[in-house]
Structure 1
C-alpha cells in the first residue's frame, strides 16, 4: 500500500460547486489505488477503491475522485459530474488493453474534469471501430487538462452538440483531437468546433488550433492543425505524421493547403462545412482517407495531390457538392475516389472528377448510396481490380475515361437505374457499343442488367496526368530540353512541349505523358541516333514530329523504339527515319492517328502474336 497524504490541497476540496439545487451534490473526495487488491473498499483514504469505475459508480455529482499512481486496466464511463484527478500524469495510467470498442474514458455527464492521467491503448483491431478513442466526449463543460494521451486509435473524439469544452496542457503521442464527430446525432453547427484548446503538443510539436483567423500563414512546425471559422489562411510546407486527423478545416473559406506531407495518420485531412478552399500539391500516404470533403463542403478544388496506401484516396461525403477533384495521382489505395453519404438523406452530388491518374487500387472510383449527378471524365483508370463501381446511385455521367488493364472488372453497377456512359476507351479500339454488366434486385430477386456505352472510343482520349512540366516557350522555370524535364518528373506526370526544334535523343524511363503543342511544329530531331526510346509502361506520346534517326552505318536506328508495354503513340508525324517505329518484346501497344513518311513500323518476330492496336 502506498503512503497516503492526509492533507488534501485546498483547490481540490473547493473545485466543485453545486450545479443544480434539484440534484444531490457532494464535495467529498473519493480515493482509488490499484494496490488495494484485497479490500476492504469504501473509497476512503484508508480503504480506497481498487478500480476507477468503482469510484465513479459510488460517487455523487460534485465529488472529486483522486487516483494514486498505478496502471488501471479498464475502460471507464464518466456518467456523473465529478473531477477525476490523477496523482501524476506520468504514473497514473488508464490502459484500454487494445480491446476498446468505444473509449478508454467515455464522458457522458456534463461538468467533468479529467486531469493528471496517461490514457493509452484505446484501440481495437476490428476496422469497423475506426473511432475507438482514448477519450470520447458527449457532454458540455468538460475540461481535459494536463494529461498524456498516447497510442490510441484516436486521441480525443468530441461529438457534435458538445459546447464549452476546454482541452489544454496535454501531451499527445501518436494521437490528436477530432472535433465534429457527427455520426452519433447526425447534425453539425459552428458551435461544435468553437472551444478553448491551447498549449497542447503532438509528438513534441505544437497542436495549432485557431478560430476566427483571417489572412494568415500557419507555422510549419505543426503536429496537428485545426482551423475554425477562418478565411484566407494558408497551410504550406508542413510535415505531419503519427497523429489522428492531421488537418481539420471547419466552417472556413478561401483557405489553401499546399506542398505538405502527411503520412501514417489514423484519420485524414478533412473539411467540414467549408467552401471555396484549395488543396494542392500535397503528398499523402498511409491514412484513413487521404483527403475528405465532408458535411456540406462545397466548391472546393482538390488538385495535383499524390495519395497512396490509404483506405480511400479522396472522398466527398455527406452533402459535399460541386467540388472539383482534378489531376491527382491516386494509387495503391483500397479505393481511389469515394462518393457516399454518411447520412442517408444527404447525398453528394454535382462533383467533377476529372483528369486524375487512378491506378493500382482495389477500386478506382466508387459511387454509392444515392450519390447522383456526378461527372467522372477524362481520367486514366488503370490497373485497378475494379475500375469503377456504382452502387444504388443514378444519373452519374462517365465519359472520355481511359480504362486500361483493370482486372477482373473495368466497370460494374449494382441496383442502379440510370447512369450515362459515353465515349470511354475500354482497353482497346471498339467498333460496336460496349456493354457494362451489373445487376438489379427486383422484388427480392437478383437479375442481371446492362448499361451501354454506345460510342466507345477507338483510341485513348487526351488526358494530362499528374503535375505538368513545361519545355520550351517563355514561361518562368520552363525546361530547355525534353530529357531534363523527364529526369525531374515523377511517375504519372505530364510533360508539355511547346513548338520548336529539339535536337536530342529522348529516353522515357518512367510512367508519364509526353505531349507536343502541335505535331507540325514540335519537332524532335534525333541527329542520327534513336530519337525516342520508351523503356517504361503506360506512356502516352502525342503531338510531335519524330525525325532524323538515320545512320548509314547502323540500319537499326529508329524514330521511336518501344520496349515497355501498355504504351500509346498517337497523333504524331514520324518521318525520314531508318525505321519509324520498332516494337520489341512489348505488349498492348496502341499506335493510332499517326502520319508516316519514308519509314514504317517493324515488330520483332518474337512479338508477332502479342496484342496491339494499329488502326
Structure 2
C-alpha cells in the first residue's frame, strides 16, 4: 500500500480522467483492449481457488515493510497462470523482491505498474530462491546484485499486458475465466483496514491510499445490491482479513477502474521432469526432454523447485539435501524402489514435500526406512503415497522444537503397510498424522517416542501385529481423534506420557482395546468400544507412577455405536 496519499490521489484522478478520454498510456506493451464479449456464457461463479475442487492459487504472502503491493499482486497472478499451464498446483513461488527492486521500486512510494509489467514482458521474474523477500523491521534499498547471478536463466515472462476497460465488470469476469487472475487497484478506506470477513462495502472513513490486489474470482449474488462480489487475494499476510483474502462487492472502492490483463506465461518454470522411458536423450529436465533418473533431477533443481516424476520404476536411493517438492504422477505406478538397501528416501533439509509415489524395499536393518528425516527444522509433508516393505515406513527423527517452534511434519492420506513399523517418530513435535491407512505392519502401526503435541486423526489403523498406536517416552499432549483402530493385538498403549486426549475413536475387535503404563492426566471421551454395551463408563486399565500402581481411567461417555 502506498504511503504518500497526495501522490496516489493525484495519480488516481489523472488515470480516471485519461480513461474517460480514451488516452493510451505511453507504453510499448500497453493498449486498451476490448475482449470479445460472451456475457451470456459466463458462469455465475468462478474462482481460481476452486477449479473442479483444485486450488491453483499460491499462498498469501506479506509485503511488509515495503510499499510493494503491485509487485505482489502481479506475481500472484503469474504464479497461478504458471500452475494452470503446468497442469497442477506444484508450488510455484516467484521472487517479488527481484521484480520490485529491478523494475525501479523504492522504499518511499513503491513502483509504477507499467514499470513492473514491462519488466515482466522484457525480462521476467525468477524464482523466490533467487532473491528471497527481505522481511526486515525497516525498509531499506538493496543493490540489484543481491539477486542470484544466473537469474536470467530462471525467469518466467508474460507475453503481453494491457489495461482492461475501466469499470467494465463483465470484461473483468471474462478475463478471469478465459485468461487468468486480474490484478487491480482499489481505494483503501479506513474501514477496509478492519475487514475480517463477509462481503466488503465501504461504510466509513476516508480514502487512505491506492492499493493493488489480485482478483482471483467472482460470485454473482442477487442478494447483494451490486449483484455480486469479487474474490480477492491481498498481500498483508494471513493475519489480516479472511486468512489474507477478502470479498468485495462489485463497484466498491473503484476496484474495476484500473484492472490489468496478463497474456500468457512462458519461460523457465520451477519444475523439472523425470521419465525412465527417455533412454536415448537428450536430457535437460524439460517435459520434452526429461531426465532419466530422479537423482539427476534433484541434483539439478534449485531450492524451492519441484521435480515431477512420470510413471515408471526407479531403482534409486535418494538423498534430498535441498528444499524441493518431489511429486509422482500416480502413486500406484510411480515407484521408487530401494532394492533392499538402506534408506529409500533420506530427507536432510526442511520444507520438503513428497507426494504421489509407491516407496518400497528399504534395507532390513533396524530403522532402514522408506522415508527418513534428519533436519532440526523438518516441516516434511508426505501425502498420497504408498509406503511398504520397509523396516520403518516413515521415520521422523530429531527436530529441534525449542529453536524452531513452528516446525512440524504432516503425514496425510497415505497407505502404509507391510513394514515392521508403519510410522516411527522420535524427538519430533507437532506432527499431524491424518487420513492414512496403516495396516499389516509386523509390529506397530504408529509408534511415537518423545514427540509432544502431535495430532493423530481420521486414520484407519488395523491388522498390526502388536500395537495399533503406541505412544511413549514423554509424547505428552498428543491428541488421538476420530480414528478407526481395529483388529490389532493392542489397539492403543500410552506409556510414560501424560495429558493426552483420546476422543471419538472406534476401538473395534482389538485383542486388548487400550491401556496405559505409568501415565496420568489422559482424557478419554465418547469413544466407541466394540466390547462394551453397558450403560456405564468404559474402564481402561493401567498403572501410574514409578511403582506401577494399578489404576483405572474411564471413558465416562462411551458411544454405543461406531462413529
Q: TM-score range by the shorter chain?
A: 0.3 to 0.5
Task: Point out which structure has higher relative CO (alpha carbons under 8 A, 6+ apart).
Answer: 2
Q: Which structure has the larger Rg?
A: 1
Richer in strand (by share): 1
Tell me the TM-score normalised to structure 2 length.
Answer: 0.42
Richer in helix (by share): 2
Tell me the TM-score normalised to structure 1 length.
Answer: 0.39
